[in-house]
Amino acid sequence: MPLHNHVTDAPLPRPLYPLIKHAQQRFSSYLVFVLTLSWTRMYPTSCDTFVALPPSTEGQRIVFGKNSDRPCDEVQEVVYFPAKLHEPEEKVECTYIEIEQVAQTYAVVLSRPAWLWGAEMGANEHQVCIGNEAVWGKESVDDEEALLGMDLVRLALERADTAQQAVDVITGLLEKHGQGGNCMEDECGFTYHNSFLISDRTEAWVLETAGKYWAAERVEAGYRNISNEYSITTKIDREHQELRTYAEKQGWWNGKAEFNFAQVYSYSNTARIEAAGGRYCEGRKLLQKSKGHITAETMMEILRNKESGINMEGMFMTTGSMVSVVPKDQNLPGIHFFTATPDPDRSVFKPFIFVVDIKQLKHTCSPCFGEEDPVKKKPRFQSKPNRKHPLFLKHEVAAAIIDNTGERGQKIVEKMRALEKQKLAEMEEYLTKGIEDATLLVHLFTDTVDEEFSIYSNA
């Protein structure tokens, strides 16, 4: 039987059950009440993802953005993997399970929690961008290890050259392998279903899942955002063939009323859904405010917005952010900006462009522990190694100065913003005129990190 929050009567996350039951055996009912309320407030609600398309954007461009909200002590790295041909019968080892590899994978740039194989967000050489969100609903979440939502993000980016094909990749993998497994580097067993926002040069798709069941909505113009709640209602452009019959069998839908996916598959009311709904509505308002003039800078400011809760603080915070600008013109490059550091309000969005001969992004790569990694050993998560990459370490010191000093900290922020503004101006040249000499961009992201290092060293 589900445990409930005594204040909201909302079902509590299953990972809290062992903690609460232990407390029930040891402490008074009042203390258990206080602990339950505290644990609920600490538990993640996480992530907001946005996309804007013409005519909401300036120029004929798609603008994509995401904040990845994760445990405050988790390191997010930005990594690059080149396109690759694979041998027949080759396998790929994801976070928990091994699956069949495809003949060819595309080049990808990913922002991911350092302990994972998959990614929270990223882009590929065909300018497909994907971000995922944790969602919960009436369909129970599978604790068994399968594909994580983050694995599905990376797999789709490696295998799909359009947004619609990414929908095919994800839903096909869901059907074959399912989704499930712990989504935190901890023994707590934090699990969830996933929703995805996917874009390319021409359109976007929202894909929302409940176990193996799913619904997808096509977005051809305007803007769209997702948070930690189901948001597809009656506009369903594609769906699992048993989506409606399954809901009817479960007694969630009578088979006669208009089918509303979010209404049918969501919890009727939980504190988590209410919090996500608030961020979802605030995100839409911020997009609406700049409708017709949305740019990379607009999206960065939305991701930096703390009043709305989009830029999250606390036990669970924004640990990495991404903004992409993708022109509809096939001859112009897409620009993908990543922070690789917590809190976009005190981070630099650094540009990446897909060109040949890019090397691994060493400044934002965390240490690799191979087969000795506690994530790979069973039982998993018996220890937590130090995964801080070079940029994270330097930024951590700078962030402390920003937080604890007045004028000195302000000067660091001003220099960070000046560097970002400079890079945005440089990227505008490529977005409007194209690339004449790709060799100048091979180290674009790494060189920008070096400039960020210089700011911290001279602080």
Please state, in angstroms and rounded to a whole number, the distance separating the CA atoms of residues 76 and 316.
13
How far apart, in Å, are the Cα atoms of 226 and each of 13, 46, 117, 208, 451? Answer: 21, 11, 23, 10, 33
The 10 Å CB-count burial string (b at 16+, else e) for 243-266 is bbebbbeeebbeeeeebbbbebbb
Please state, in angstroms and rounded to a whole number, the distance separating the CA atoms of residues 16 and 190.
9
Peptide bond into 88 cis (omega under 30): no
Q: Please give the backbone phi and psi of residue 3, each rounded to the nearest 5 degrees, phi first.
A: -85, 150
Active site residue 47: yes
End-to-end Cα distance, the chain? 55
350: left (phi over 0), alpha (psi -120 to 50) or beta: beta
Catalytic residues: 47
